[in-house]
Chains A and B, each alone.
Chain A
Amino acid sequence: MYWEKEIETIERRQLEKLQLERLKQSINKASKSLYYGDKFKDKVINAAAIKSIQDIEKIPFTTKDDLRGNWPYGLVATSKDELVRMHSSSGTTGRATVIFHTAGDIAVWTNLVARCMYMTGMRKSDVFQNMMTYGLFTGGLGFHYGAEKIGALVIPASAGNSKRQIQLMIDFATTVVHVIPSYALHLSTVFTELKIDPRRDTKVKIAFIGAEPHTEKMRRKIEEIYGYKAFNSYGLSEMSGPGVAFECPNQNGLHIWEDSFLVEIINPQTLQPVRDGEEGELVMTTLQREGMPILRYRTKDLTRIIPEPCSCGRTHRRIERIKGRTDDMMIIKGVNIYPMQIEKKLMDIEGVGTNFLIVLDREEFNDLMTVKVEVNKKLFSGELKKLEALRKKIAEELKSEILITPKIDLVEPDSIPKGEGKAVRVIDNRKD
C-alpha cells in the first residue's frame, strides 16, 4: 500500500528535520546559480542563516517573471553538462518558462510520480495508457517514467485521436489511464457514438486526472460515466511537473510530498503566511532539485492546507483541490493561456480594434474559448468576404500563439464594455 513506507509515514518531527537539512542544501545549491548567487550577495543569505524551516521567510520569493527574466540558464545551478532534460510550461511561445533537469532530478521526479501512482493502487501488473501530450509538457513524460518505474506496461498513446484511444484501451485491456478531465468527458461522447459502453467494455479501474482545474462534481461525473476511480493530480512544470501532490484512496485532498517540497501558503496581498487551514497562495521550494533549485516559488494557485491527519497513514499534509488563480492565467484543454498573449497577437493584426473580450464556456463537456474582437472602424470596407478573411486570420494567428483554435466573433467598435481601470478581459462561464 505504500511505495516507500518509511518516508510516506515519517513522523512529522523527523520530516521537519529532513526538510531543514534539505532546505540548507537547496540554498547552497541555488546560490551557485547566477540568479540566486546575485540575489544572496547583498542580503548575506546562506545556509548558516537558516536555523529552522520558519527561517525560510528570510528568503525572497521567486516568481514566474523571475524565471522569464533570467531565461534560459539564469537559475541553473550546475554545469550545463549535467543537464539531461528540459521542459517548458504548456508549450506556449511568448511566455514559456524552461526548467532543466539533471539525471538525478529525473530520478527523484520519477520516483515521486511512481509514489503517487502506487498510492492509488496501480501495480506492476497494470496496463497504463498515457493520454497526455508527450513533449515539452511535463504530463506526458513525467507519468510515463513513473509508470515504467512501477513496472507497468505503458501505452504512450499521447493526446487526441479519440477513436484510436478507445481502440487501444480495448485491444490491450488498459487498466489505468492518465487523462485531462475535460478530455475524459469529451471521450465519453465518442464512446457513445461508437456504441461502446466504457463501464462494460473496458477494464479501466483507475484514472489520473489533472493538468487543468476541475470541480469535485466533474470528477464524480467522470467516475460515474466510466465506472473507475478518478484521482486528482497536481503539479506544475516549475516543480518538475506531475508528482507534486496527489490523492490517496480517500480522495479527500492531495498529499503534497513534503520530503521533496517545502510548502507555504501565503496571503497573496500581504505576502504573509496564513494559518494552517486558511486559504491562500501556494508557495513551494524544491528540496531535492540539483539542476535548477527554485526557492519560495509563487505558484499563483489558490488552495489551503488540510491540517487534520489522513486515515491512510501518510504524514505528508494534504492540500485541497486548487480553487483558482491569483493571476489571470486561464487553463483551457490543459493549455495555460494568458490574456496578454492574445492581446499582443491581436494588436499586430490590421483591421482589429483596440478592445477584446475572452469568453470561456463549457458546452457538452468541451471547453470553448470565444474571443470577441472589435473591428476597426476605419478599415471596414463594407465587404463581408473581407470580414470573414479577417476572422480567419485572427483565428490562425491566435492558434499559432495559444495552440488551441478559439472561435472568433467580430463585434462592433466600442461594443465591449470598458471597465473602469483595469479592463475585464475574461468572462469565465464554465461551471462544473
Chain B
Amino acid sequence: MIAYQLSIFAENKPGKLAHVTSVLAKEKINIRATTIATADTFGVISLIVDDPKSAQAALMAAGMTVNLVDVLAILIPDKPGGLDELMQLLFKENININNAYGFVLESSKKAVFVVDVEQMAKAEKLLEEKGFQTLDTAALCAMEPSCSVK
C-alpha cells in the first residue's frame, strides 16, 4: 500500500517550520514523523500526518508550496536487526532509496520505516511477497492509539 508524505518547500530561515506547525495545530492534524532536507538556503520539510489531504489544503491556503509524495511506510519490528532485515532485502533487489526516515509506533514492538524509492510498484510488490506490511494513510492512522479513538 502507498502512503502520502507531505512535502513543503521552505526557505532555510527561522520561523518557517513554526509556520507549518501552527497551521497544522490549528487544523488539529497530528504529525507522526518529520524530516528536513536542506540545500544551503532552502529545503524541503517532509511530514507524515494523519490527514495528509486536509493538511495539504490548509498549508496551501496559508500560501505554502506543498506536494503529496507517494512513499512506502513499512512496518518493522522495533528490535535489534529489525531495520537490517528490510535493508538487506532492498539491497539484494538493487532498490535505491532516495530518502528515508523512521519512527516508533509502539516501543519495543512496532516501528515504521518510511522510504521514497524510484521503483515504487516493484518495491511494494516485493515487500508484500517477503511478508513485510506496508501501510497506507488510513492504516497508519489506525495504528496510532490516540488516532483510533478520534
Interaction A to B? yes
A117-138 CB contacts (< 8 Å) to partner B: none
Stretch in contact with the other chain, from A84-92, A297-305, A407-415? A407-415
Interface check B126, CB cutoff 8 A: no
Interface check B39, CB cutoff 8 A: yes
Stretch in contact with the other chain, from B64-72, B83-91, B100-108? B64-72
Known contacts being A384-B39, A410-B42, A414-B63, is A375 close to B98, with CB within 8 Å?
A: no
**Chain B interface residue bracket vs A:** 20 to 34
Interface check B7, CB cutoff 8 A: yes
Check B39 against A412 for contact (C-beta < 8 Å): no
Partner of A411, one of B42, B46, B64: B42
Check B10 against A412 for contact (C-beta < 8 Å): yes
B4-60 CB contacts (< 8 Å) to partner A: 5, 7, 9-11, 37-39, 41-44, 46
Interface check A316, CB cutoff 8 A: no
Check A409 against B42 for contact (C-beta < 8 Å): yes
A237-260 CB contacts (< 8 Å) to partner B: none
Which residue of chain A has the shortest Cβ distance to B71 in the bound complex? A382
Check B39 against A388 for contact (C-beta < 8 Å): yes
Overall SS of chain A's interface: mixed
Which residue of chain A has the shortest Cβ distance to B9 in the bound complex? A380
Which residue of chain B has the shortest Cβ distance to A388 in the bound complex? B39
Check A383 against B98 for contact (C-beta < 8 Å): yes
**Residue of A375, A387, A412 with most partner-chain B CB within 10 A:** A412
Check A391 against B39 for contact (C-beta < 8 Å): yes
* Assembled-state Cα–Cα distance A412/B9 (Å): 7
Partner of A415, one of B11, B38, B46, B66: B11
Partner of A382, one of B7, B41, B63, B64: B7
A341-396 CB contacts (< 8 Å) to partner B: 375, 377, 380-385, 387-388, 391
**CB proximity of B104 to chain A, nearest CB, Å:** 24
Check A387 against B9 for contact (C-beta < 8 Å): yes
Chain B residues near A (Cβ < 8 Å): 5, 7, 9-11, 37-39, 41-44, 46, 63-69, 98
Could you write out 10 A-B pairs with CB less than 8 Å apart?
A: A380-B65, A381-B7, A382-B68, A384-B37, A387-B9, A409-B11, A411-B42, A412-B65, A414-B63, A415-B11
